[in-house]
Amino acid sequence: RAGTPRCWVQDLAERPHAWPKLWKHHAAGRHAERINAVAEQRGEPWLERYGGKWAAMAITEPEAGSDTAAIRTTAVLDGDEYVLNGSKTFISSGMRADFITLAVRTGGPGASGVSLIRVEGNPEGLQRKVMKKMGWSSHTATLYFENGRVPDANLIGKEGEGFRAIMLNFDDERLHGAA
């Protein structure tokens, strides 16, 4: 009807071909907002440092699939660095990401042992392998970590808080995906 306000969901219903791109940008934006909130609590200039850069969220693993609480990629504290070992797969923007938010196991089994760590650039011990697939490429990759090292300051939040942050992100993505 003329004069009736429209929402973006209505626009997408009429132009479904635009959905994947818009959804991806929205999800990445929400991810960035959550990281920025944690960084602001710690007094870090997150947006100044990372604004305009490519980001990737690395959760899915070959062995764990979508069971986030069962991830096996580890981050072991060694002095003032975390040592990263394991692999992630189907990581969108994994080939071109300037930084990666990595789900890791820092504690015991289950959800309470999952943490998030920021991996910047291409540290020694990180190998990226492009995944050749049909359809929209999105620079999807499998990531391999073999004794990669990142500063302990790259821990996002506290150890053991990663699972909750990931679930909040998934809730938002799934709500918009269902719309």
pLDDT in tens, 7-18: 444 444 444 444
pLDDT above 90 as % of the chain? 44
CB 149 within 8 A of CB 125: yes
Please state the rounded mean pLDDT for residues 22-50.
Answer: 55
Residues 6+ apart with CB under 8 A from 77: 83, 106, 152
CA 27 to centroid of chain Cα atoms: 10
Whether the per-residue pLDDT at 105 is higher than 60: the answer is: yes
Residues 6+ apart with CB under 8 A from 84: 73, 74, 75, 102, 104, 117, 119, 125, 126, 145, 147, 148, 149, 150
The pLDDT tens digits of the residues spanning 47-56 come to: 556 667 788 8
Please report the DSSP string for 59-74 in residue order: --BTTTBT-GGG---E
Whether the per-residue pLDDT at 106 is higher than 60: the answer is: yes
pTM of the model: 0.72
Euclidean distance between the first and final Cα of the chain, in Å? Answer: 21
Pairing of strands 81-91, 141-151: antiparallel
C-alpha angle with apex 126: 107 to 141, nearest 5 degrees? Answer: 100
Pairing of strands 126-130, 141-151: antiparallel
